[in-house]
Chains A and B, each alone.
Chain A
Amino acid sequence: MREFINLTLGGVITGAVYAAFALALVLIWRSTRIVNFAQGAMAAITTFIALSLIESGQSYWVGLAVALLAGLVLGAVVERLVIRPVEGGPELNAVIVTLGLFIAIQALISVLFGVNQRAFVAPFSTIGFRVGDSSLALSPNTLFTLGAVLLVMVGLTALFRYTRVGLAMRASAFGQEVARLLGVRVGRMLTLGWALAAVVGSLAGMLIAAEVTFVTPTYMDALIVFGFVAAVLGGLDSPVGAVVGGLLLGLLLSYVRGYVGDELVGLAALAVLVVVLLVRPGGLFSTTQTRRA
Chain B
Amino acid sequence: MADAGAHGSTASGAGAAGLTRGAAAGGVAGGTATAPAVLQVEGLSAAYGPVRALQDVTLQAEHGRITAVLGANGAGKTTLLRTISGLVRPTAGRVVLGGEDVTRAPVEAMVTKGMAHVPEGRGVIAELTVDENLRVGSLFRGKVPSEEFERVYTFFPRIAERRNQTAHTLSGGERQMLVIGRALLARPKVLLLDEPSLGLAPRIVAQIFAMVRHLVDTEGLSVLLVEQNARSALSVADTGVVLNLGRVVVTDDAARLAGDEDLRHAYLGF
- Residues of chain A having any CB pair with chain B under 8 Å: 164, 167-168, 170-171, 174-175, 177-186, 287
Contacts and interface: CB of A to CB of B under 8 A. Distances in A.
A279 B127 CA distance: 24
A182 B111 CA distance: 6
A179 B111 CA distance: 11
Interface in B112-149: 112, 116-117, 119, 123-128, 132, 135-137, 139-140
Nearest to B179: A178
15 contacts: A167-B128, A167-B132, A167-B135, A170-B128, A170-B132, A174-B127, A177-B119, A178-B125, A180-B87, A181-B117, A182-B136, A183-B110, A184-B108, A185-B108, A186-B108
B136 A181 contact: no
A287 B127 contact: yes
B107 interface: yes
Interface of B: 85, 87, 107-112, 116-117, 119, 123-128, 132, 135-137, 139-140, 182, 186
Given A167-B135, A167-B136, A167-B139, A178 B123 contact: yes
A181 B110 contact: yes
B132 A179 contact: no
Contact of A184 (B87, B119, B128, B139): B139
A183 B111 contact: yes
Contact of B125 (A164, A175, A185): A175
B136 A171 contact: yes
Contacts of B85: 181
B186 A182 contact: yes
A182 B107 CA distance: 9
Nearest to A176: B125
In the A-B complex, the 10 residue pairs with the closest CB atoms: A183-B140, A183-B111, A175-B125, A174-B127, A171-B136, A178-B123, A180-B107, A181-B117, A174-B125, A182-B137
A243 to B, nearest CB: 18
A164 B135 CA distance: 9
Contact of B111 (A174, A181, A186): A181
